């Protein structure tokens, strides 16, 4: 059902944790499935220098959280904001259609963190 990349990011998630003095924090959830994601950003000179996540949810939710942190790290704020749900799913070599909402959450959490950062500028 899941690709090898999804399983790898679920079993060995990257960038797990919190950033104490984060420049932006985005938290989103899906009340239907119960998944919750929080993304923390550290930004210097408009570049994402550090990114961490905490996710409560299914394997796909954890894998998409892990993958979006890998994709966003080192990008400009504008480049990271433009990361789409399909890019996250494609980077994981696909998700089952019933789990696509998980990649939506990852992209939404990243955008919420960037919006939080922008609101503080």
Structure tokens at 86: 């399909």
Q: Per the residue annotation, which of 102, 106, 109, 114 is the catalytic one?
A: 102
Pair 91, 67: CB distance under 8 Å: yes
Q: Per the residue annotation, which of 33, 36, 58, 100 is the catalytic one?
A: 33
Q: From residue 78, how far is each of 2, 4, 23, 43, 54 by CA, in Å?
A: 30, 30, 15, 12, 23
* 58 assigned to active site: no
Q: Which residue in the block uniquely carries the two structure tokens 């480049």?
A: 79
What residues are annotated to the active site?
Answer: 33, 102
């Amino acid at each position: 059902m899941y690709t090898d990349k999804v399983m790898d990011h679920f079993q060995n998630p990257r960038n797990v944790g919190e950033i104490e003095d984060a420049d932006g924090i985005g938290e989103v959830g899906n009340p239907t499935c119960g998944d919750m994601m929080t993304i923390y950003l550290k930004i210097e000179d408009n570049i994402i220098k550090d990114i961490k996540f905490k996710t409560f949810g299914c394997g796909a939710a954890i894998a998409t959280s892990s993958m979006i942190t890998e994709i966003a790290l080192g990008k400009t704020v504008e480049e990271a904001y433009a990361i789409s749900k399909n890019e996250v799913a494609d980077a994981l070599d696909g998700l089952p259609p019933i789990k696509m909402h998980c990649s939506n959450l990852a992209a939404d959490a990243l955008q919420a963190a960037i919006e939080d950062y922008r609101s503080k500028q």
